Amino acid sequence: MNYLGIDNSSGGVFIGADPTKAERVHPRPLLTPIVFVGRGESPDWQAERIGGDPRAMFLEEQYDLLSRLRRGRVYRWQRSGNQWWVADPLRRDVRNAAAGMGFRFEMHLVTYQCDRLEVLRGRRLPKVYLGDGTHSTRWTIATVEGAAAGGPILTLRAKSYMGLLPELDPSKVPPEVGPDLEKRLDAVVDSVKRVDPGTTVDCCRHALAIIFGHLAGDRTLELGAGIQTYLATGKGSEQVRTWAARIVARLHSRTKPNEQERLGLRVLDDGDAQLAIECLAVVLKDAGWVVAD
């Protein structure tokens, strides 16, 4: 549908091909303010509002928690107080009049029009923020797909770790490891409840290898060697971060069938995967690379 209207007095949402042929959406869909920002910028939330209305809204149509993907359409602000004629069986407090086929109610709604997202063509894709002010989350654009009806479908991927890991603070993470570390942490979160616990442990080990390789001054080192070099060169001492990393290294050895058979070890379970994630979180916090609580 091309137009979306919001009744600020009741929170009702109406959608239609145009404002004279709209219907209330029930149950009420999830609408979130959306801001597109360029490289290295922060969202200017004041500039993204017109009066009290968000300049753009994201209408969610599908959300997959495990893959951290949201799909929906973007609607851009047109005007406030625009006249609409709507089919609304839930409202009886406004006068009704015939308009076209059947009876419709006259309402004045904040009006948004479906965005064709032409600005995303042929350019580096911007970052995306959903929410408002301090209550916002970062997302990246996964795909933009044309639809048979209505505007294009925008698929977003969360930059948040959904509470499984502490959020990285880009200003604190060394720039030479930031991109690789983010990819590894994404792999950790994506593995939870989707693959076997051993894969989650391996993903944690890969992330820790990046951290200790950086701390040791040699990114080519595996986790165990990275810990030893970090200690041997005097760059660090035995402390919580090294003990936590060693637990993950020890769990990793249990993912090998030959080691399980040779030492009579049990098969890793979800509790072991959660332990590896917690150890990784401890190292990230101890390194001072995360957003302060």
| Average pLDDT, integer, range 131-157 | 86
pLDDT of residue 99: 47
Confidence of residue 121 (pLDDT cuts 50, 70, 90): confident
User: Which band of pLDDT confidence, cut at 50, 70 and 90, is reported for residue 84?
Assistant: confident
The pLDDT value recorded for residue 11 is: 87
Share of the chain above pLDDT 90, in %: 47
The string of pLDDT tens digits covering residues 244-270 is 999 999 998 888 777 777 777 788 899
Q: Is the model's pLDDT at 231 over the cut of 60?
A: yes
Q: Considering Cα of 50, then 55, then 60, then 63, what sign does the dihedral take?
A: negative
Per-residue pLDDT, 237: 77
The per-residue pLDDT for range 10-46, each reduced to its tens digit, is: 888 999 888 888 888 988 999 999 998 875 556 665 5
Q: Which amino acid is at 147?
A: A
Structure token pair of residue 167: 């959020």
Domain boundaries, the chain: 3-158, 178-287
pLDDT at 142 over 80: yes
pLDDT of residue 148: 78
Instruction: Give the pLDDT mean for 109-138.
Output: 84
Task: Give residue 104's pLDDT.
Answer: 75
Say what the pLDDT of residue 42 is.
60
Q: Which pLDDT value is given to residue 101?
A: 46
Which pLDDT score is estimated for 45? 57
The model's pLDDT over 86-114, given as tens digits with 9 standing for 90+, comes to: 877 765 555 555 444 456 778 889 999 99
